[in-house]
Amino acid sequence: MKKCTLFVLALLFATTAFAQLQKGTVLLGGTVGFNNYSEEGDGFTVINLSPTAAYFTSNRLAVGGRVNVAITTGDGLNQTVIGVAPLIRYYFNGSGNTRYFGQGSLGFQNQQVDGFGTSFWELGLGVGVDFFVNDRVAIEGVLGYSRTQGFEEFDGGFNTLGLNFGVVAFIGK
């Protein structure tokens, strides 16, 4: 009986010992993606890297930014997209080993296709979950929507719906 009680106490302690989302904590993380797709018979490979950093300005509310780098190659296409976006993230629950959040961002991108450059703005919204593997590190999943729109010289834009995975670390408090 003592072993069972100790196990339950250890389990309760483990679920409450995870990183606190308090004012002053720093969030560092990011996602990496690798995709293949085809369009009208042409095949393309996309490699995406998106590091993120944020500072908790109050409990459960983080403000920061992300950089997005995407490289697309294949069938005569060489495209690089570099973007920056400030972001805001709010965690709905502040304890436990699973934390749910919503986030939004508004940023700018520059696309280079074979030496020709174009600029875009991007609005992003997402909901996600962090699964803590220890008291400071979590594996993250984010379901997100983004709208990318060209400036005046472009009439159209495109919508993206995606599921991204990454790792985040909580440093500080």
Considering its fold, how many domains does the chain have in total? 1
Q: What is the pLDDT of residues 50-63, one digit of tens each?
A: 999 999 999 999 99
C-alpha span between 162 and 173 (Å, rounded): 32
Q: What is the pLDDT of residue 60?
A: 95
* pLDDT, tens only, 130-173: 999 998 999 999 998 988 888 766 556 778 888 889 999 999 86
- pLDDT confidence of residue 8: 39
Q: Which residue has the higher pLDDT, 1 or 126?
A: 126
- Asked if residue 129 has pLDDT above 80, the reply is yes
The neighbouring-strand residues paired with 118 are 111
Q: For position 141, what pLDDT does the model report? A: 92
pLDDT in tens, 3-57: 544 443 344 344 444 567 899 999 999 988 777 777 677 787 888 889 999 999 9
Q: What CATH number did the domain enclosing 20 receive?
A: 2.40.160.20
Helix %, strand %, coil % of the chain (to 5): 10, 70, 20
Question: What percentage of the chain exceeds 70 in pLDDT?
Answer: 84
Which range marks the domain in which residue 151 is found?
2-171
**This prediction's pTM:** 0.79
Q: How far apart are CA 164 and CA 148, in angstroms?
A: 17
Query: Do 51 and 62 touch, CB atoms closer than 8 A?
Result: no
